[in-house]
């Protein structure tokens, strides 16, 4: 599902510039695992269904799992107009400080030593200010991107939001400016003196798979499974 | 892998009391999806490899993906002693305000209307103060729980951390006191007037699966795949 949902400014033959490194995007630990590559960041984001949105409420952190969409270097989150972070964003004229993180678990790394157990993963962390989306055209595009993010091509094959639904939905935008990816790949890193230990060591790959689609019992007669679902 | 990793105070025939509702654990949206059931919370936590740990740094939120372990109503996170939230916890005598969230995506819900698209999910959110673990016995137990959380039974089948490794590892504890689970299950909730629309509607189940274990190339001759890996 990677890389299929967002409209990129397509300039053939050019490599997009990496995201700039900042104090907040250089990891304290394992900085060699960090990347600022724009295509890699976008691919990790696009493969995820849920992001974890962090914000501060009364001085304490809150981490909320939520759906999201992406249009180029803009990330969109939506929700009810009553939702706390969306309401807080609407009330913050300069934007609400947020951190959005997306993580994929790709494998379990079993070392001979407890200390060197790890996981293979890919993650993206975005720092910035979330802003309320008030422009009706941008709001529609963002909602389409949210639906297409989960199921590429789906927005065009569903009834668009009506006036009442649009009014009940708030959308916030986070620009991708302060962004990093981090990943661990590969095998086991045991100490040389542990290699002869009798414990099994290796990697267990972890995948995401899809079950057989479960049609709604009230489906209009003759409605067939759309082709785009076969590409998940 | 659910419910197999933590030591519960086993009192047969008694149901553990639910977590108390607090201002922070009653969701603003869809409170009917919330649960405070201790067994459900533990099961959702135990099925996850990664949690998203939120903390506040210089007034802004940070959301860090990290491994974790659970012993009863204590959640443990570990990392290098140089890791930022662990260092910050060590320097906060009253504890570091954190929010830990765990999320599973169980299905994509395709409605006829864009508005009613959703996902089936299960999540847990924990609010509280993280404390540095300084007691050597608790630290060892926590590190075992971290390894066993990912691979039940694995801690006993690996070389325990030595003095140098223990000194390089910091562990923090978050007590499960202010906790809620939230879940969406089931099918499509379209508006009655949309049921005759020609768009396919239904649920695409999403699962986690495991690939064939990839043994380390330096495995000692005759080392067999342990039985506990077959139970993943």
- Give, in degrees to the nearest 5, the angle at Cα A113 between A107 and A117: 25
Q: Band of the pLDDT at A232, cuts 50, 70, 90?
A: confident
Contact residues, chain A, for B143 at CB < 8 Å: 114
Backbone angles phi, psi at B64, to 5 degrees: -115, 125
Task: From B148, B77, B208, B43, select the one nearest A110 (Cα to Cα).
Answer: B148
A206–B211 CB contact, under 8 Å: yes
The predicted pLDDT at position A4 comes to 41
Query: Token match 């807080």: residue?
Result: A88
The shortest CB-CB distance from B111 to any of A53, A158, A209 is to A158
Q: Which of A78-82, B159-163, B203-207 has the lowest mean pLDDT?
A: A78-82
What's the ipTM? 0.93
Tell me the pTM: 0.93
- Kindly tell me the burial class for residue A184, based on how many C-beta atoms sit within 10 Å of its own C-beta (0-12, 13-18, 19 or more): middle
CA of A142 vs chain B CAs: smallest distance (Å): 12
Question: Average pLDDT over chain A, rounded to whole?
Answer: 93
pLDDT at A1 over 60: no
Q: What are A67-126's pLDDT values in tens digits? A: 999 999 999 999 999 899 999 999 999 999 999 999 999 999 999 999 999 999 999 999
The residue of chain A with its CA nearest to that of B201 is A216
DSSP B74-131: EEEEEEETT-HHHHHHHT-TT-EEEEEEEEEEEEEEE-SBGGG-EEEEEEEEEEEEEE
CB count within 10 Å of CB B7 equals 11
Query: Which sign does the torsion angle of CA B157, B159, B160, B165 carry?
Result: negative
The predicted pLDDT at position B231 comes to 77
User: Residues 6 or more apart from B11 whose CB is under 8 A from it?
Assistant: none
Task: Decide if B165 contacts A115 (C-beta within 8 A).
Answer: yes
A199–B165 CB contact, under 8 Å: no
pLDDT at A180 over 80: yes
The predicted pLDDT at position B82 comes to 87
Q: Give the whole-angstrom CA distance, residue B103 versus residue B122.
A: 6
pLDDT at A10 over 70: no
Q: Give the whole-angstrom CA distance, residue A89 versus residue B63.
A: 18
Query: B210 is written with which tokens?
Result: 């495991």
A205–B194 CB contact, under 8 Å: no
Query: Token match 């099918």: residue?
Result: B187
pLDDT at B181 over 60: yes
CB contacts < 8 A, A to B, total 294
B123–A65 CB contact, under 8 Å: yes
The predicted pLDDT at position A117 comes to 97
The residue of chain B with its CA nearest to that of A60 is B97
- Tell me whether B61 touches chain A (CB under 8 Å): yes
Question: Could you tell me which residues are beta bridge partners of residue B100?
Answer: B53, B126
Task: Decide if B89 contacts B81 (C-beta within 8 A).
Answer: no
Q: What are B15-25's pLDDT values in tens digits? A: 889 999 999 99
Mean pLDDT of B98-125: 98
Q: What are A145-159's pLDDT values in tens digits? A: 999 999 999 999 999
| pLDDT > 70: percent of chain A | 94
Q: What are B30-89's pLDDT values in tens digits? A: 888 999 999 999 999 999 999 999 999 999 999 999 999 999 999 999 999 889 999 999
Contact residues, chain B, for A213 at CB < 8 Å: 202-204
pLDDT at B5 over 60: no
The predicted pLDDT at position B232 comes to 79
């Amino acid at each position: 599902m990677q890389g299929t949902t967002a409209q990129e400014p397509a300039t053939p033959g050019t490599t997009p510039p990496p995201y700039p490194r900042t104090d907040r995007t250089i990891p304290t630990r394992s900085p060699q695992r960090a990347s600022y590559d724009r295509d890699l960041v976008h691919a990790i984001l696009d493969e995820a269904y849920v992001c974890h949105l962090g914000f501060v409420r009364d001085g304490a952190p809150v981490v909320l799992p939520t759906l999201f969409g992406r249009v180029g270097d803009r990330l969109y989150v939506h929700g009810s107009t009553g939702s706390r972070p969306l309401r807080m964003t609407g009330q913050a004229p300069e934007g609400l400080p947020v951190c959005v993180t997306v993580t994929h678990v790709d494998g379990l790394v079993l070392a001979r030593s407890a200390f060197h157990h790890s996981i293979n993963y890919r993650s993206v962390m975005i720092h910035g200010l979330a802003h309320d989306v008030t422009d009706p055209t941008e709001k529609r595009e963002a909602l389409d991107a949210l639906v297409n993010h989960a199921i590429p091509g789906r927005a065009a094959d569903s009834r668009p939001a009506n006036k009442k639904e649009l009014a009940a939905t708030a959308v916030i935008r986070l620009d991708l400016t302060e962004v990093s990816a981090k990943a661990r790949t590969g095998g086991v890193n045991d100490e040389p003196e542990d290699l002869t230990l009798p414990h099994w060591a290796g990697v267990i790959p972890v995948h995401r798979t899809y079950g057989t689609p479960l049609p709604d019992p009230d489906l209009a007669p003759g409605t067939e499974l759309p082709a785009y679902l076969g590409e998940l």
